[in-house]
Amino acid sequence: MTRSLVVLLFFLLLTSSCKKSIDPTLDANYLVLLDSMNQWISIAENPTSSKELSELQLSKISEVIDTLSVNSIKARYLSELSLFYFKRQDAINFLRANNELEVFAIKSSDSIKLAEAYWDRGAYFNSSSVRERDSAYYYFSKGQKIYELLREDVQSARLLRSMGSVQTSVHDDTGALVTLTKALEILKPLKENKYLYQVYNVMGNAAHGLEEYDEAFKYYDMASQYLLRTELGSTSYAGLANNMGIVSYEKGDFIKAKMEYEKAISYDSLYLLKPELYAKIKAHIGMTNLKLGETTSVENNLLRALHIQDSIGDLEGLSLNFYNLSLYNQEIGNNADAYIYARSSRDVAKEIDNNLRYMESLKLMSELDPDNAGSYNKEYIQVSDSLQLEERKIRNKFERIRFETEETAAENEALAKQRLLWIGIAVGIFLFAIALWIIVMQRAKNQRLKFQQQQQEANQEIFNLMLAQKQKLQEGKHTEQKRISEELHDGVLGEMNGVRMILLGLNKKGDEAAIALRGQAIEKLKEVQEEIRTISHELNDASYQKFNNFMNSIQELLKNVCEPVTMKYHLSFNEDMDWDNLEGITKINLYRIVQESLQNSLKHAKANSIYISFETNADHMIVSIQDDGVGFNTGKGKKGIGHRNIKSRIEKLKGRWYLRSAPGIGTTVVLEIPLEHISLDEKKEISLTKELQEV
């Protein structure tokens, strides 16, 4: 538990130190300014805008950025400006805006914008016009490490893919596969199909560079599976098919290579969407036909590709296509044109710093111009040695960057552990102080509790004495009640029965007035008899003893009342409730209410069935008595004595009752009695005198 608390405190301290200040409320003028900047960006990005107009809008944004007071908004526009200049290949303005973004992100502790700045700068150094691969790898690596620390997994994996792509460009294919495997481990659980396709595509290129053609096909197949799950357009499918065609070509499977190239070039609108890829595939088809001996269309395909590449300024494609045309002319015996194309390939390769193409062109020129082969071969060796040295230096830089990154991460981890240790020590001291304070307070509390317990024991002795006196008083009261009950039942009731019999005998006289009077007297005596019987039972403690098994008593009542008149009955109750723990007064009143309801169902409702349930919830006991009799309109007529008795009895129990009935649907009586007023413990405490309660 202590360790968890330490980690939690560390997390809170870390997050509080990284928390940014809340942006101030933006006033109307500020919002108008931001709206204007958004309009300037839209105008600058509009392809129909002239170069001068776009530059004017961008210069406005640059001037306004310095006046912005909200850090998050300022960082956003700096980032957009940096990315915009990068897309326009405006190196000077890009580097200026990107540097401003980096400085501002560091100053404002905006890690996300700092990572974006490194990402853009890495892409700049990786562009075909710059080709500083070591710098590109360095900035990609810095951005990736920030995203990794921030747990921005998708962005981290995307930069790992960019790093792997840079590694393949300098033939660090083994290192590229290691980097790309890390990206896969991040992306697979996230099911990011688009980026998984891109990673597997680059892995195929790396395996191709290692001449592991079967492995390359496996990676390309995986890329195609993920590509199908994306919404990427036809150019992606064409590019992947072109890569598979290149591997098949170099493996010597020219038939499969041609099939892949033709599939790639067949995608809709490829020429319009990506003309450089279309031209490249055209050239590949031409060279594949040359290998298959289908020479009639070779030159047309190569020249068509050359025309497209020249029109769009694709120097990389031009260099390759000049080389292909040289090979074609050498194949057909036209060495003069072959030499011209080889020299053109060499010159363009030198212009774009493509050393591999430059070397291939030199080698081909030495074959086409034997007289000067020595100088070509000498230059070839010099370039080869220089290229190998340069690539070795770049790979060493990659290793050094990885090492420095891992070393920095290890140092940060050690510092974090050290900080955690100091926080743990501080928290430990704090917890020790709290524990000591708790111990002191607990001891004082125990002393108070011990004193209170001694007082309670003394009070309990007094209470027991008073309770014993009250019990003796109650026993005397119960004895007297029983004596009175017996007198009422055996004496008064017997005399009343004798009077009723005498009156019945006199009733044989024929005087109609006497007969009527005697009848009234007899009825009155019967009422007195029933009233005395009720009082007798309520005074007699034996009546309470009758309900030691309360539910059996209710069941017996139902049986005695319903079976003689063939009325169906059903009793249900909560078996988890100890009904015998109800106090006697509660049981007798419930018994009488059920008895009264049964009589009403028989006499007035003419019911065939009756259903009674005893249930409890958290606060109440619910008694429901329902019959299927004729029912009545509860809104009309006066309430009978039976209903008044039910109301009186339920009020004694501090409960409520509900009567639901209508002609033809029967009658339902629902009793709701608070449990807090019927439990024995509660009743006993209420029955104590005020003095005993205070004790």
Are residues 533 and 667 both part of a single domain?
no
Measured between alpha carbons, how far is residue 63 from residues 59, 79, 85, 92, 99 in Å?
Answer: 6, 15, 15, 17, 16
> Is the pLDDT at 612 greater than 70, yes or no?
yes
Sheet holding 568-573, edge to edge: 568-573, 609-616, 620-627, 667-674, 656-661
Are residues 669 and 647 both part of a single domain?
yes
Pair type for strands 568-573 and 609-616: parallel
Count the helices and strands in the chain (H runs, E runs). Answer: 28, 5
Residue 542: predicted pLDDT: 46
Does residue 643 sit within a domain? Answer: yes
Please choose, from the candidates 258, 60, 526, the residue with its C-alpha nearest in 3D space to the C-alpha of residue 266: 258
Does residue 551 sit within a domain? Answer: yes
Confidence band of 462 (pLDDT split at 50, 70, 90): low
Confidence band of 198 (pLDDT split at 50, 70, 90): very high
Are residues 574 and 526 both part of a single domain?
no
Are residues 554 and 690 both part of a single domain?
yes
**R_g of the chain computed on alpha carbons:** 51
Residue 11: predicted pLDDT: 39
The DSSP secondary structure of 234-277, one letter per residue, reads HHHHHHHHHHHHHHHHHHT-HHHHHHHHHHHHTSTTHHHH-HHH
Residue 147: predicted pLDDT: 93
Residue 49 in tokens: 């805008």
Residue 74: predicted pLDDT: 73
Domain boundary among 518, 545, 572: 545
Residue 255: predicted pLDDT: 94
Residue 409: predicted pLDDT: 57
CB 611 within 8 A of CB 626: yes
Classify residue 25 by its DSSP letter: P
Q: What is the mean pLDDT of residues 542-548?
A: 46
Please choose, from the candidates 120, 122, 190, 181, the residue with its C-alpha nearest in 3D space to the C-alpha of residue 151: 190
Q: What is the pLDDT of residues 24-53, one digit of tens each?
A: 444 565 566 667 777 777 777 777 777 777
> Is the pLDDT at 638 greater than 70, yes or no?
no
Classify residue 26 by its DSSP letter: P
Are residues 565 and 618 both part of a single domain?
yes
Confidence band of 411 (pLDDT split at 50, 70, 90): low
Does residue 574 sit within a domain? Answer: yes
Confidence band of 3 (pLDDT split at 50, 70, 90): very low
Length of the chain equals: 695
Are residues 527 and 605 both part of a single domain?
no
Domain boundary among 545, 561, 586: 545
Are residues 626 and 493 both part of a single domain?
no
For residue 659, the cross-strand partners are 669
- Whole-angstrom distance, CA of residue 61 vs CA of residue 340: 50
Residue 109: predicted pLDDT: 87
> Is the pLDDT at 474 greater than 80, yes or no?
no
The DSSP secondary structure of 278-303, one letter per residue, reads HHHHHHHHHHHHHHHT-GGGHHHHHH
SS3 per-residue string spanning 466-494: HHHHHHHHHHHHHHHHHHHHHHHHHHHHH
- Whole-angstrom distance, CA of residue 61 vs CA of residue 33: 10
How crowded is residue 648: how many other Cβ atoms within 10 Å of its Cβ? 10
- Whole-angstrom distance, CA of residue 360 vs CA of residue 319: 11
186 contacts: CB under 8 Å, gap ≥ 6: 153, 154, 156, 157, 160
Are residues 494 and 603 both part of a single domain?
no
323 contacts: CB under 8 Å, gap ≥ 6: 341, 342, 345, 357, 360, 361, 364
CB 623 within 8 A of CB 640: no
Does residue 122 sit within a domain? Answer: no
- Whole-angstrom distance, CA of residue 589 vs CA of residue 591: 5
pTM above 0.75, yes or no: no
For the chain, what is the domain count? Answer: 2
Please choose, from the candidates 149, 90, 148, 150, the residue with its C-alpha nearest in 3D space to the C-alpha of residue 120: 90
Does residue 432 sit within a domain? Answer: yes
Top pLDDT among 550 and 141 is at 141
Maximum mean pLDDT: which of 321-325, 409-413, 576-580? 321-325
Top pLDDT among 263 and 464 is at 263
Q: What is the mean pLDDT of residues 165-184?
A: 91
Please choose, from the candidates 75, 73, 138, the residue with its C-alpha nearest in 3D space to the C-alpha of residue 111: 75
Lowest mean pLDDT among 101-105, 159-163, 277-281: 101-105
Are residues 541 and 552 both part of a single domain?
no
Q: What is the pLDDT of residues 387-402, one digit of tens each?
A: 667 666 666 666 677 6
Q: What is the pLDDT of residues 496-531, one digit of tens each?
A: 665 565 566 656 666 776 767 677 667 767 766 666
Domain boundary among 522, 545, 568: 545
> Is the pLDDT at 341 greater than 70, yes or no?
yes
For residue 674, the cross-strand partners are 620
Measured between alpha carbons, how far is residue 682 from residues 115, 140, 686, 693 in Å?
Answer: 71, 77, 6, 12
Q: What is the pLDDT of residues 428-459, one digit of tens each?
A: 898 888 988 899 888 888 888 877 776 677 56
Please choose, from the candidates 371, 350, 372, the residue with its C-alpha nearest in 3D space to the C-alpha of residue 360: 350
Are residues 618 and 671 both part of a single domain?
yes
> Is the pLDDT at 207 greater than 90, yes or no?
yes
The DSSP secondary structure of 610-648, one letter per residue, reads EEEEEEE-SSEEEEEEEE-S----TTSS---HHHHHHHH
Are residues 523 and 552 both part of a single domain?
no
Confidence band of 130 (pLDDT split at 50, 70, 90): confident
Residue 22: predicted pLDDT: 34
Domain that holds residue 639: 547-694
687: domain CATH number?
3.30.565.10
For residue 670, the cross-strand partners are 624, 658
Q: Residue 269: left if φ>0, alpha if ψ -120 to 50, beta else—which one?
A: left
Pair type for strands 620-627 and 609-616: antiparallel
Residue 29: predicted pLDDT: 59
Are residues 651 and 624 both part of a single domain?
yes
Q: What is the mean pLDDT of residues 478-482?
A: 69
CB 345 within 8 A of CB 363: no
- Whole-angstrom distance, CA of residue 479 vs CA of residue 229: 94
Q: What is the pLDDT of residues 342-361, one digit of tens each?
A: 999 999 988 888 888 888 88
